[in-house]
Structure 1
Amino acid sequence: MDKVSTPLPFREGTGEGLSLARIDKWLWAARIFKTRSIAADACKNGRVSIGGVGCKPSRPVKVGEIIDVRKPPVTYSFRILKTIEQRVGAKLLPEIYENVTAPEQYELLEMNRISGFVDRARGTGRPTKKDRRALDDFLNLEDL
């Protein structure tokens, strides 16, 4: 007999009603990181913390915990509403976590984008000496 089961993206609680999932899986499933290996590397490198304490990729997360994810220059904060292990669509994300990032962090991000960033067309390669001099002249004119 064929046993067909459709896995649910939301993990049901066990025992005390607490549902657990690995932090690297949850970060990937909640679309905070593009791949699970990137999420695991972020945990290993100390860019992810739970309650202000760094964590390993295998650390279980619980509903209600606050996760801080450092993606320089901003530190994003998320409150877990549901634990999941399978990636879900973007429309379901408000059910998964609440973004509790401070508004100052977004202001910092905007200031970082504006200040000192010179946009170059993708694929143009490294600027030539002439291009660098023209860019330096242009930037020095703004300082006057």
Structure 2
Amino acid sequence: MDQQSSARIDAWLWAVRVYKTRSLATAACRAGHVRLNGERVKPAQPVRIGDEVRVRIEGFDRILEVSGILVKRVGAPVAAQAAIDKTPPPPPPTEVPLQIVRDRGAGRPTKRERRDIERLRGH
């Protein structure tokens, strides 16, 4: 790990392997999917040891604590030491509502179909 006191957040997210490319990390920052200590950040925002980084990926927040500063992509074991994952476990599949899939071109559901859909969702 480098002996720097800070690094750009987009470069750090790429270096610890949250995003596959640095441009994806930059785009996520611009879209507002990255928060540093609760605040939305720009890609050039400096990140320091002890900061909390929240990243929204696939609809779920991933919570990371910065434990090391990296600016270049390194091996996976070294990258794992630079971030402490504090993300809570995902909810069990029974708590996630079922996705109702209708055939394409089927039109609006009838009143009976709508009631069946609501019953499946638990309303």
> Which of the five TM-score ranges fits, normalised by the shorter chain?
0.7 to 0.9
* Structure 1 CA distance for aligned equivalents of residues 2 and 91 of structure 2: 35
Which whole-Å CA distance do the structure 1 matches of 2:78 and 2:94 have between them? 27
Inter-CA distance 128–70: structure 2 relative to 1 (3 Å threshold): closer
Q: Which residue of 2 aligns with 1:115?
A: 98
What is the CA–CA distance in structure 2 between the aligned matches of 1:117 and 1:98, rounded to whole Å?
36
Deviating above 4 A after TM superposition, structure 1's stretches of 4 or more consecutive aligned residues are 108-112
User: In the alignment, which residue of structure 2 is the partner of 1:34?
Assistant: 20
**CA distance, structure 1, for counterparts of residue 98 and residue 55 of structure 2:** 23
Amino acid at match of 1:116: Q
Instruction: Name the one with the larger helix percent.
Output: 1
State how far apart, in whole Å, the 2-side matches of 1:78 and 1:25 are: 15
| Structure with bigger gyration radius | 1
For residues 35-74 of structure 1, the aligned pairs below 5 Å read 35-74=21-60
Q: Deviations over 1:97-125 (max 9, x none)?
A: 0001123xx1178965x83388xxxxxxx
SS of 1:83's partner is coil
Are the structure 2 counterparts of residues 33 and 110 from structure 1 closer, same or farther at C-alpha, using a change threshold of 3 Å? farther
- CA distance change for structure 1 residues 36 and 108 in 2, over 3 Å: closer, same or farther? farther
TM-score (norm 1): 0.64
Give structure 2 stretches of 5+ with no counterpart: 106-116
The structure showing larger relative contact order (alpha-carbon pairs under 8 Å, at least 6 residues apart) is 2
TM-superposition CA deviations, 1:19-40 (whole Å, max 9, x none)? 1100000000100001000100
Paired residues of 1:74 and 1:108 also in contact (CA < 8 A) = no
The corresponding residue for 1:85 is 71
- For residues 117 and 22 of structure 1, do their structure 2 counterparts lie closer, same or farther at Cα, with a shift above 3 Å needed? farther
CA–CA distance in structure 2, aligned partners of residues 40 and 109 of structure 1 = 32
TM-score (norm 2): 0.74
Question: SS where residue 107 of structure 1 aligns?
Answer: coil
Query: Secondary structure, in 3 states, of the residue corresponding to 2:91?
Result: helix
- Contact 2:16/2:80 (<8 A) preserved: no
Aligned residues: 106
Query: What letter is aligned with 2:39?
Result: V
